[in-house]
Each structure stands twice: as structure tokens, then as C-alpha cells.
Chain A
Amino acid sequence: MDEASDEDLMGRIAKGDEPAFRLLARRYAARGLALARRITGNDADAEELVQEALLRVWINAPRWRPLAAFRTWFYRVVLNLSLSRHRRGPFLPLEAAGDPADPSPDASVALERREAERRVAAAIAELPDRQHAAIVLTYQEGLSNAEVAAILETTVSSVEALLVRAKRTLRDQLGGLADRHGDDT
């Protein structure tokens, strides 16, 4: 069953197959958490939202129709829940990384890089909701403009416009950061 497609699993879940649901949940919990965490800026909220999104998958599976890929549908549910939660409360930019302190001589370089990542994260977090979502879905999830359009329930040209506006804003805010850190590996 591990090799079954998402859509096959949804077919089984629609018939009440709990092991199929738990397999699909294992596939998507981490991805959903990364997306929700990025939009809400809060770990506890992200956990709660992803749990709710997965429960919606289970509850509504009998009514699900494979008109779009399961991934698109699931991301849309997580994104909508996250944006709704984000609008209700202040966004607290997350720490960029959880790396332990580096005692090596390159520590100052690492520190500078972490500061750069923090600034990038804060700038992205301050974008308007839909621009924020378009950037996260494109760069974190690696989705095409067409997939992003399906998740945001809009047209491809609207997604392109969102990306253009978002990157202009980010370039303005981040200044020469890309020149100093864009070549870091």
C-alpha cells in the first residue's frame, strides 16, 4: 500500500479505510506543517491547523471527487486555514533555523548568514497574504505557477502578477543582501 497514489488512498479512505488514512497523513503531515508554520509564524497554530486539515480529509473523503490532484486540494485547505488564523492574530516571525551554535572559526560567518536568513524571513512574512502564499508555494514547495494558481483558486497570470509584486518588494527591502549572500552555499 506504501506505493499507492494519493488518489488511490483517497478512494480507500472514502470507504472508511483507516490504515490508508494514516498512511496519507504520514505523507502530508510534515509538508502541511512546513506550509502552515511559514504562513502563521507559530508552531502550535501550525500543529492545530494541520491536524484539523487532516481530519477534514478523513471526514470529507466520501464526498471528495478527484477533479484536482490530492496535493493541490490539501495545500488549499492548509493554506486557507493558515491565512484565516494569520488574519486573526499577529505574526511572530520564526527563527530562521534551529542550528546549534557553531564554535568553529567560521562562527562569525555563520552568525552573519543566520542574520541574513532572519531578515529574509521577516521580509517575506511582511508581504500581503496572497503574495506571501505565492512565494512560499513557489520556493518552499517548489510548485509551478499553474499549481500555485490551482491552490490559490486564481489564474496563472494572477500568480505571475503576485510574484512580480512580491519580488519587487523583497528586492527593495533586502537591498544588497543578495549580492553579499546570494552566492553562499
Chain B
Amino acid sequence: MTLAEFQDLLDAHGVHLSLWPDEPRQRAEEFLATEPIARQRLAEAQRFERLIARQMNVQPRALDASTGRVLRALGGELPRQRGRRWSRLALTWPSALLAFDLAPARLRIAALAGVAVLGVALGLLGPDVGSSDSRLGVALAASDVDLAAVFEPEPLTGVRP
């Protein structure tokens, strides 16, 4: 291990070697045991970390007042939450459907279903009135009106009807 590598490990993992990952810790301990300069670097790093940590742990007097203001501001009515109504509906819709009371409308639903069945039956079994109906074909053939001429342009002006 080089001194630069040791310094990087100190910076990356901190000065408490017991918290380091096993592999670099073992190598660092061997390095510390043999290199006085490594022990000096460790002592410097410990002083440096104490300086940083002490500054970081200074709490301003105003922090308590700020905390109070934030909590008071949240003390009033809270806004509506997002996603709660839909997630609740997603979880409860099967039981909601099962619990739906059809009793008051049972007769009307039966009548509606009967009409629907009748409509389907008539559609399948009733008289065929499609375009291939022979009576309709005869009626068109007998007509004097030339349908194609209706859509022809005016011979003189070229204007379409």
C-alpha cells in the first residue's frame, strides 16, 4: 500500500478503521504497523475530522424557533392526498360489485333482458329485407328514372348537380 492510497482510504471511509470493509482495513493495519508516516497521517486525519464534525454539529439557536414555525404551519387543514381514492377503489371494487343491491330493479332488468333476447331472435329468424330481395330488385328495374344521369355534369356549363 502506498501513502497516497492510504490517504484516499482515510478520506473515503473515515478515521475509524473498525468501520472499514475487511480487505482495505487489513491492508491498512499492516501499513500502519510498519510505516510511522502512516500513523502520522492517521493522527492528522483524526484532527481534521474533529474540526469538520465539530463545525457540523453546531446547531443554531434559531433552529428550535424554525422548527416551531414549520410545525405550526402544518397544523392547519391538510391538502387532499393523491391516489388514495383510486387505490382504495382498486382494492374494493370486487366486493363493491358483489354487494350491489339489484332487488328493487329486478323486474325492470328482467324486462330489459327479455326485450334484448327477442331482438336477437327476430334478427336471426325474421324476414330477410336485404338488398338482394327480389321484390326490391324488380321495383328498381321498373323505375323510369336513370340514376346515373342524375349525377352527370350539365352538358353546357359542366356544373355538377
Write the residues of chain A forming the contact surface with B, with a CB cutoff of 8 angstroms. 14-16, 18, 21-22, 25-26, 29-30, 33-34, 37-38, 43, 46-47, 50-51, 54-55, 58-63, 94-98, 116-117, 120-121, 124, 135-136, 138-140, 144-145, 160-161, 163-164, 167-168, 170-171, 174, 177-179, 181-184
Q: Could you give, for residues 88-99 of chain B, a 1 whenever the CB lies within 8 Å of some chain A CB and a 0 otherwise? A: 000000000000
Check A98–B50 contact: CB distance below 8 A. Answer: no
Cα A121 to Cα B59 with chains together (Å): 12
Q: List 7 A-B contacts (CB under 8 A).
A: A22-B75, A34-B63, A63-B87, A116-B51, A124-B52, A164-B12, A177-B51
Query: Which chain A positions have C-beta within 8 A of B73?
Result: 51
Query: Which chain B positions have C-beta within 8 A of A161?
Result: 12
Instruction: Indicate whether A43 sits within 8 Å of B66 (C-beta atoms), given known contacts A22-B74, A62-B81, A178-B48.
Output: yes
Query: Which chain A positions have C-beta within 8 A of B66?
Result: 33, 37, 43, 46-47
Where chain A touches its partner, the secondary structure class is: helix
Instruction: Indicate whether A182 sits within 8 Å of B71 (C-beta atoms), given known contacts A37-B60, A160-B12, A168-B11.
Output: no
Cβ of B61 under 8 Å from chain A: yes
Check A98–B60 contact: CB distance below 8 A. Answer: yes
Cα A145 to Cα B60 with chains together (Å): 26
